[in-house]
Structure 1
Amino acid sequence: MLATISRAATRRPLTVILVWLLMLLVGFGLGTGVFGRLVDSVPDVPGTESDRAAAYLDRVDTSGESITAVISGTKVSDPALRSQVGRAVADLRTVTGVASVPDPYTTRGLTAGDGRALVIPVTLQGDMKFKDEKKAVDTAADRIRRIDAPEVHVSGGPLLGQQMGGRAQEDVQRAELISLPVVLALLLVVFGGLRAAGLPLLIAVSGVAGAFLALFLFSQVTDISVYAIQITTMLGLGLAVDYALLMVVRFREERRHTDDVLDAVHRTVAGAGRTVLFSGLTVAVSLSGLLVFPSPFLRSMGLAVAAVVVVDMLAAVTLLPALLARFGARIAPAKGKGKGKAVTGSGDAAAAPENALSKGSAEEGRVFARLARFASRRPLAVLAVLVPALLVVALPAAGMRIGIGDARQLPADTEARQMYDALEAHFPPGTGVSPVTVLVRPGAGPDTVPRIRALSDTSDARALPDGSTLVHLRPGGSVDGTAATDLVERVRDVRGNEPVEVTGVAARLVDFRSMLAERAPWAAATVLLGIFALLFAFTGSVLIPLRTILTTLLSLGAALGAVVWVFQDGHLAGLLGADGLGSLSLTAPPLIIAIAFGLAMDYELFILARMRETWLRTGDEHDAVVTGLRRSGRVVSCAALLLAIVFGAFMTGGFSPILQIGLGLTLAVLIDATVVRMLLVPATMALLGKRAWWAPAALRRAHDRFGVSEEAPEPRPQLTGV
């Protein structure tokens, strides 16, 4: 299959390049239209109690969402300010789409006890179209901001979603501006030439453009989360650089053995292209677990990342061969041995060129060979030190809590965060926190509403047109804190068999957590079985997939534990411009787990390819481990470093969910590519010995017959005594 693809790409390289150029233009033209279709309703889970109650209220409740303004920094009793606020309130009441605006001077609770702040809540009409609601919000916010006061901040409701989305996009642009030049500079060091270094970035840009186009098409039929752009940009750039790095390094190695550029391209695709194919499949399978969850957010993220993986993979095995066929003669071959018989091994992690990746074939990967020999000779000692260390770092993950979050997720210079801080400074705790909303339907007992209202010190109730009663219970603490979620659970406990439903932010979080607990085992089973099958198809072993999964879980647990320690517990969070929030954003853990697991498989395949090649050629399990790491270690290290830079650049922003994902993925990549792949892999392979390559006879025959290979199957060493 890959041979056919490479021949087609090299036969008409200009056609292939033009097709991808057209896709590039369409992707950054039409595809960027997805930015206007993104949603921020992360915790929504169709079919849950909170979702059903919210949908019912949308139909029967005439009131809509609301935005909030806080005026502070001066005495609110000042006559000039009071006059301005009065005129602003009168103007707001005339805005189309605004249902009500109370006078903060005559409404209890809207003026701060210290006399230096007041709140102006603006309630919108219900059942408005999106563009009408947005126009009403923007008009009301602009009018409030014209009030002449030291501090005027407007946020909340749909405006908070707009501000978070805008900040997220700013962080993406900043990260791209930082990471792309750094990646290019490092690629120049790696390859020693601009032409070779530019190819990975060209593949990366093509991948991101294709992903934008795919997301735009997905947005026509399903909701796409605002976080999808960040993730596709991070992963699209990182994977494209990984794949192109692997392919170009292998091409330079092949060029060292032949003057025929096309032959070198075909051999590159037949070798390294297979690893790219399997890598793309493993990353896609790792993220397929997100599709098991009914949450539109998680599913949209799964679709988004699957799209970027497929596009990057296609670009690596079609566009890159076409570019190499057209311009590869200008790329210097790797230095080392002279021309000779072309390399035909089935391994995929390329032998590295001179400069950053090699110092000649005689010294190639000497450091990594030493690491492999060290770990192989002392496997128990390596495991005894590293496994407990990784478990200790992973320990905080056992106490992980997830939350929806509030304006504290934004940096201090954003308007939503400044409004939140003003409320915290001048008003009692809990002011402005979204209430727990309880829908008491007709037919409930006469004591139902009083029993529910008794659960909170602050509550109100009003009748709806259909005869239902809407009760608002205001919890202490944050919108998704323990007090709020416990209040949701207490309402559900005391309602008995009465027709009562709970919704609101805290209720959505409770339902989201329940959904995760229910579906997580199925998602894990889907991913692990898929990964096991792919690794078996790649290696022909049943023990290597098990060993790979276990060692990968160690690095993943350590990365997640560090994220919890920083962002949930607050240790060193200030160094990243964030706060300890007491929980992680519910967007972070599922994405860190899914993406990091897929990327770990990426590096595992780079190493296993060379190990398997040596094992099939020599039957020496020790030589397979040492040679495999020697031949692949530099490529894995360079790829991990480049990917860590891409992920690390996303920690230069200030939006906490993106910071959490950036830190988690950066640590996962670095830990996996160093501690796990360079030490734990050779140690565990040494302990397994020849058993590492074992499979039951029936599975071995099946692999020999159906295993993916571009070449005739090589003789397999027969294992005895295992």
Structure 2
Amino acid sequence: MRIFYALGRLVYRYRWFVLLVWGALLVSSAFFAPNLSDRLKGGGFEGANSDAEKVQEIMAEEFDASPSTITVVFEGDGLDAGSKEFQEAQNAALDEVRELDEVSSTVSYSDSEDPRFLSESGERSYALVSFEIPIDQAQGLADDVRGKVRSEELTTYVTGAPAVYLDITEASNEDIRRAEEYAFPLALVILILAFGSLVAAGVPVLIGGASVVVTLAALYFVAGIYDMSTFVLTISTMLGLGLGIDYALFAVSRFREELDHGPVSEAVPRTVETAGRSIFFSGTAVLIGLTGLLFFPYTFMRSIGVAGALVVFVSVAAALTLLPAVLGILGPRINAFSVRRRRAEGNVVGAGLWARSAELVMRHPLVVLLVVGAVLFALLYPAMHMQVGVPEASVLPERYESRAGDDTLKEDFDYAGLTPIEVVATVPDDPLSAESLEKVRDLGQRIGETENVERVDSIYTVGEEAAREYASSLGEAREEAETEAARVADEAATEQLNALRGQYGAVPPGAEDRVRVEAERRAAEEIENQIPELPDGISADGAATPEGLANVLALPEVRESEEVGSALSFYAAGDRTLLRAVTESSPYVEEARDTVGEVRAIEPPEETSFLVGGLPAGQKDFISNLYGNVPYAVAFVLGVTYLVLFLTFRSVFIPLKAVIVNILSLTASFGAMVFVFQDGNLSGILGFTPLGFVDATLPILMFCTIFGVSMDYEVFLLSRIREAYEEGESNTASVARGLVATAGIITSAAAIIVVVTGAFAFTGIITTKAVGLGLAVAVLVDATIIRVLLVPATMRILGDWNWWPGGRKKSVFRAKGEESRRATRAIATAAVVAAGVFALTGFVTASILGLGLALIVLLNAALICALLLPIVMRRFGGRDRRLGGGERMFKVQSGTDAPLEDGQRTTENGSRQADEQRSEEDVQNVLDHEAERQEAAGNGHPRENGDRREVHHASEPERQSARPRPGRAHLSGFRRLERELRNATESADGDRTGSESYGGNGRPERAP
């Protein structure tokens, strides 16, 4: 594409100005990039308008629930948590926290005497500090709380969402520093080994560092407008270093190659035209993958997508502007400070190995496919039992305070009781009415019957407890009153009897019984006046009907009690009431999420509705909404990537193959992720505690990131194969030339990506570890098994179909007249059929997965246009098409431009055919002879011209076409293999004949 050549010339002309602009940009970015972490926020898992989020909003608006809470865990050294000494020390530690303006309340054991605030071991206690501000603002107060609750008598751990997010931010900064300490030196060593020059090795590192700094500065301003996740910092740094160094590596390598054939003024534009074009389309592929994250409704995912897009944009911009300017200034000095002698062009490191391996693969492609398939299946196998979840503090290393506090709560407290399933029910009347209480009772019973539910707390259970306490208190009061009344009655009867004795000298017969009965009657009347009766519906043992509970809760003395009043305000608001279902399992496991689904499936009582929220429900909704959008993101990424590659290579099968092999790389990384982080293998080496599941966001992050990054090497490799194919090489030889030409540089690039991303596998946060390890594994598999074995095997099997329908720019459709029309009609028909298959597949996919039909129709319509447009253009514009350099060279050498001789005939369109068909070996000899002639001519050496020798000074186009091809000496084996395969095919064909036309590679091509 000449636009890249023009860009290269422009940058070279104004190279000092470009360098000055980038220098100013870097200096200004250095002031903002270090402050990015201050603007990043934790969380970002809300925004899908799920039931759990609706419950959270209702709780905040109607039930006055705090928008954010910090949990402070207290641990005494040998002290009983319920003791007076322990509680006094705890209250003293909380006194300063209560004075904070943002704190709305603090609740602890000393405030409520609720035994759930005490640990099972009896050595720990916790307090809840509620804030009036959201989590992202409370995050900034977590350190203040930690400083204020420090106690000499007790050990404290501050945890909860605000504290966890603060620690994640600090851990991310530490992870970046640690990764850079390992990544930069190792990447520099790899570059020195690849280039053999300190200057050439330093340039990619410079470009990578510049890309990261500018990207972080740009994100600083973006984070001031939109919420950006804390994980943006590590992901941006990881991708910026990897892509920036990789792109620069490819460009520097091509520049050194071009520098061997021309001046700097021509080498820079040629580098941008070739490597720059590949970098642009590779960056586009990465950008497409990361853009897939924008399909998800969560800030966490979208912010990473935005940051990734910025990283790619800056990295590509630096590779297409800053890097050419630096190369133009350095010129031949790019090879300065060599640490070893540079190998001559064509002697690529390991070229013989790559050529021999490719030749072996092409001899036995099916066997290779089976072997590679078995290896990839082995790598994929662990992913078949993948389980996803949503971790919180467990993503942090154990040394962080919020992680230690959260682990303590899980081990020694009723953790499920702290994070229950919350059900907000809407009732037709006042929640404290008998009718509403009956409906709450029925709903609570149905929830309680659900498997994995330990208990259900609600306003009904509060009423039952209040009724029992009220009945118990009345019973105790009655017992005390009866005892007192019996004593009083006995004293009164005794006094009256003594009076009778004094008056009559003796108690008259029968009078004593009458006196005592009367005294007891009077005492009973007094008890009745003093002790109220139990309300209707309440038995003496506290058992109550809904009417009885309503009567009890309506009593002023009951409502005025602090405990009941607080519970009523917590469980009832307006026409809504809250039920809290405590699970038997941890709220983070799949069993708890399944319980949420069962609760939601419960049929509510008549005239009652409910929503289910809480931590388990929030996680279930998050995972469901996350993976509910996966088909849209996958369809977008795969579809647009296919179209971009189709337009890049003008082939139907090359993009399809690239998409498939990228998916294989992705599945290998999934297997590694499950093997390590779910199953816990290598946890000792990598330094983490196994989760027992995979973070639900990781498979999606890995897909969108790896799909684009691993496409890099596919694009670079196919671009070089395409160059060889367009210059006249056969499909087999083109693959060999592309592999040999890119083997060393792609291996070095892959090694750098593995080093950079692998360094993040040794950081602290598990999410960062997983992304780093997954990228490293995917790139390693892609650069070895897939690129060395799978790609050559598939391209060998497909043959020239690899490049259908585009063929060669310089040598496609040489036949004329009726043959050309038949060929065009055949390919157009095939294109229509292929487009129809794609469309049908799209509609079937839509019906199965529920995708948006409009998106599928649009993608397939674009695909149809992309398929048919080249055919139409060739059909109407091919007759007067200007011949390419490869065609002209072939025509001159094959004599097809010579006047017609006897024995030749002309078709109706003026085409001519030779009486004797040239064999492939003869044509190849012609091409080899021409290559040698052009090489001699390009160097100004004498050449033979009949019986005379003359010196030919080649023009610049001839010099470019005469450049020696890297690894050409290794292609003879492929040509022998090709001849053997063709001879075998011709033998099988027997006497089959047909008109033949000669392609730009000099081999006879049978017209369709």
Fold conserved (TM > 0.5)? yes
Partner of 2:6: 4
Aligned-partner SS, 2:629:
helix
Partner of 2:121: 114
Partner of 2:302: 299
CA deviations 1:632-686 (Å, max 9, x no partner) are: 1111110000011000110121211111111111100100111001110001111
CA deviations 1:214-271 (Å, max 9, x no partner) are: 323332443211111111110110001110000001111111112x212111111111
**Cα pair 1:459 1:472 within 8 Å, conserved:** yes
Distance 1:204 1:135 in 2: 32
* CA separation of 1:82 and 1:42: change in aligned 2, threshold 3 A: same
**Cα pair 1:252 1:334 within 8 Å, conserved:** no
* CA separation of 1:127 and 1:424: change in aligned 2, threshold 3 A: closer
- Structure 1 stretch displaced more, 271-280 or 154-163: 154-163
How big is the shift at 1:478? 3.1
- Structure 1 stretch displaced more, 551-560 or 97-106: 97-106
2:315 counterpart of 1:312: yes
Distance 2:144 2:77 in 1: 25
Please show how residues 87-98 of structure 1 align to structure 2 within 5 Å: 87-98=92-103
* CA separation of 1:129 and 1:277: change in aligned 2, threshold 3 A: closer
Please show how residues 390-429 of structure 1 align to structure 2 within 5 Å: 390-428=376-414
Partner of 1:321: 324
Aligned-partner SS, 1:607:
helix
* CA separation of 1:68 and 1:495: change in aligned 2, threshold 3 A: farther
Aligned-partner SS, 2:690:
coil
User: Which ranges in structure 2 are unaligned for 5 or more consecutive residues?
Assistant: 430-435, 459-569, 806-826, 832-866, 875-882, 888-998
Please show how residues 611-630 of structure 1 align to structure 2 within 5 Å: 611-630=721-740
Partner of 2:202: 198
How big is the shift at 1:101? 2.4
How big is the shift at 1:100? 2.7
Partner of 2:149: 144
* CA separation of 1:498 and 1:514: change in aligned 2, threshold 3 A: farther
* CA separation of 1:543 and 1:174: change in aligned 2, threshold 3 A: same
Distance 2:124 2:884 in 1: 78
Distance 2:744 2:181 in 1: 27
**Cα pair 2:388 2:696 within 8 Å, conserved:** yes
**Cα pair 2:194 2:745 within 8 Å, conserved:** no
Distance 2:428 2:29 in 1: 54
How big is the shift at 1:162? 1.1
Distance 2:54 2:414 in 1: 32
Aligned-partner SS, 2:314:
helix
Distance 1:268 1:588 in 2: 37
CA deviations 1:480-506 (Å, max 9, x no partner) are: 212321232122111548432222332
Distance 1:183 1:324 in 2: 20
TM-score normalized by the length of structure 2: 0.65
How big is the shift at 1:209? 2.0
> Out of 67, 84, 87, which is 2:89 matched to?
84
**Cα pair 1:145 1:154 within 8 Å, conserved:** no
Aligned-partner SS, 2:369:
helix
CA deviations 1:303-357 (Å, max 9, x no partner) are: 111110011001000000111111223122999xxxxxxxxxxxxxxxxx9869x
- Structure 1 stretch displaced more, 281-290 or 51-60: 51-60
How big is the shift at 1:296? 2.4
Distance 2:409 2:720 in 1: 60
How big is the shift at 1:62? 2.3
Letter in 2 for 1:630: V
2:358 counterpart of 1:361: no
Distance 2:630 2:85 in 1: 58
CA deviations 1:700-719 (Å, max 9, x no partner) are: 8628969xxxx979767596
How big is the shift at 1:423? 2.9
Letter in 2 for 1:49: D
Please show how residues 247-326 of structure 1 align to structure 2 within 5 Å: 247-258=251-262, 260-326=263-329
CA deviations 1:278-299 (Å, max 9, x no partner) are: 1011111122222222222222
Letter in 2 for 1:535: L
How big is the shift at 1:394? 0.7
Partner of 1:579: 689
RMSD: 2.8
Please show how residues 159-174 of structure 1 align to structure 2 within 5 Å: 159-174=163-178
Pair member with larger Rg: 2
Partner of 1:468: 576
Partner of 1:702: 870
> Out of 334, 350, 356, which is 1:331 matched to?
334
How big is the shift at 1:564? 0.9
Aligned-partner SS, 1:494:
coil
Please show how residues 99-110 of structure 1 align to structure 2 within 5 Å: 99-104=104-109, 106-110=113-117
* CA separation of 1:555 and 1:721: change in aligned 2, threshold 3 A: farther
User: Which ranges in structure 1 are unaligned for 5 or more consecutive residues?
Assistant: 336-352
Distance 2:603 2:662 in 1: 45
* CA separation of 1:705 and 1:207: change in aligned 2, threshold 3 A: farther
How big is the shift at 1:572? 2.6
**Cα pair 2:93 2:150 within 8 Å, conserved:** no
Partner of 1:345: none
**Cα pair 1:104 1:111 within 8 Å, conserved:** yes
Letter in 2 for 1:598: G
Distance 2:206 2:581 in 1: 54
Partner of 1:479: 587
Partner of 1:341: none
**Cα pair 1:76 1:118 within 8 Å, conserved:** no
- Structure 1 stretch displaced more, 542-551 or 440-449: 440-449
* CA separation of 1:589 and 1:703: change in aligned 2, threshold 3 A: farther
How many percent of aligned residue pairs carry the same amino acid?
Answer: 32
Letter in 2 for 1:72: E
Partner of 2:523: none
How big is the shift at 1:92? 3.4
Letter in 2 for 1:491: V
Q: Does 1 or 2 have the higher relative contact order (CA < 8 Å, sep 6+)? A: 1
Distance 1:205 1:410 in 2: 27
* CA separation of 1:545 and 1:226: change in aligned 2, threshold 3 A: same
TM-score normalized by the length of structure 1: 0.90
How big is the shift at 1:464? 4.8
CA deviations 1:167-190 (Å, max 9, x no partner) are: 122112211122112212222222
Letter in 1 for 2:588: D
Distance 2:769 2:140 in 1: 31
How big is the shift at 1:428? 4.8
Partner of 2:226: 222
* CA separation of 1:383 and 1:162: change in aligned 2, threshold 3 A: same
Aligned residues: 695
Aligned-partner SS, 1:501:
strand
How big is the shift at 1:587? 2.8
Aligned-partner SS, 2:311:
helix
**Cα pair 2:89 2:151 within 8 Å, conserved:** no
2:4 counterpart of 1:19: no
